[in-house]
Structure 1
Amino acid sequence: MTHRTRSSRASRVARIVAAALLAAGLTACGGSDDSAPESGAADTAEAVPDQAGGYGPAPAPGSTAEQEAESVTATLVDFAVELDEDSFSAGTHEFTVVNDGGSTHDLVVERDGETVAAVEAMDPGGSTTLTVALEPGEYVLYCSIANHRAMGMETTIRVT
């Protein structure tokens, strides 16, 4: 009987430890998944290219880079990407992305065939912000949902 009690206690402790490790792992992952945000939910997406060309964190709140971020509105309609700016200088830009279309849309910022930044799919009426550092060059902003890009939902910008 003593053997069963120790075995049962050890088994219970092992389950508790396993549950704690699982919870810690999920917390460390931030609960993130690839699903789209709730309908019309406001969200903030931030991606800034790092020195190696990958993604790095956005500027820290209150930093010089954030204070100098240029604000741009990108309006997604069926089937176009409309920007309220037509000239872009190198630096940090904060895009307010608004879905004014009747379909679900997202926005991808691409340079030389590589994704620089993106926002998740938004239902009609949704909006989000995207902070991205743009280096000199040519970028394409487009919707990657279904065949929206092929239907003309893209625009090219030149950053000087």
Structure 2
Amino acid sequence: MTKTRTRALLALPAVALAGLLAACGGGDGGGSSTPPPAQKSTAPAGATRVTADLADFRITLSRQTFTPGTYAFVATNTGHHDHALEVEGPGGENRSSTVSPGESTTLTVTLKDGKYEVYCPVDGHKDLGMKTEITVAGAPVNKPGTPTSPSSPSSPGNGY
């Protein structure tokens, strides 16, 4: 009798929670149980948008040159495994949420001058080649008679 009462008492909060969740549901009337995307994939105001294609097992960025500033890395998982994006360097270490195949997430990072490593921190993916490097350099100072040189581009995302 005690086990039955304990089970009933444990089930009561679960039933109440299920009822509350059903009452708070969409209201679209369609009865769809499609979950929302992991995170919105739009860049915040003032940030430069960079797309990052996270495939098995490489990262491809939409731009190769960076100057100091705020960037929104919109990472889309086009692979068959869960992936995330991490940017590590002089501006600190920043990591996105982990996304399932087909999902996107946005990682907003303020980059300073220097070299950064961009990689997938999930389950050893970095060691499988899911990494690249970017160099952030300020606008070159153009003194008379001195040629300007563009900042060195990053690798295409198939390792260094």
Q: Which has the higher contact order (CA 8 A, sep 6+)?
A: 1
Shift of 1:116: 1.9
Whole-Å separation in 1 of the counterparts to 2:115 and 2:97: 22
Q: Is the 8 A contact 2:38 2:99 kept in 1?
A: no
Instruction: Give yes or no for the alignment of 1:68 onto 2:46.
Output: yes
Q: Between Structure 1 and Structure 2, which shows a larger proportion of helix residues?
A: 1
Across the aligned residues of Structure 1 and Structure 2, the Cα RMSD in angstroms comes to 2.3
Identity %: 37
Q: Is the 8 A contact 1:76 1:97 kept in 2?
A: yes
Instruction: Give yes or no for the alignment of 1:98 onto 2:94.
Output: no
- Structure 1 moving runs of 4+ over 6 Å: none
Gaps of 5+ in 1: 1-37, 46-65
Shift of 1:115: 5.2
Shift of 1:40: 7.3
Q: Is the 8 A contact 1:141 1:154 kept in 2?
A: yes
Spell out the pairing of 1:9-158 with structure 2 (5 A cutoff).
41-43=37-39, 67-111=45-89, 116-158=93-135
What TM-score, normalized to structure 1? 0.58
What TM-score, normalized to structure 2? 0.58
Q: Between Structure 1 and Structure 2, which shows a larger proportion of strand residues?
A: 1
Whole-Å separation in 1 of the counterparts to 2:45 and 2:85: 24
**Count of aligned residue pairs for this structure pair:** 102
Gaps of 5+ in 2: 1-33, 138-160
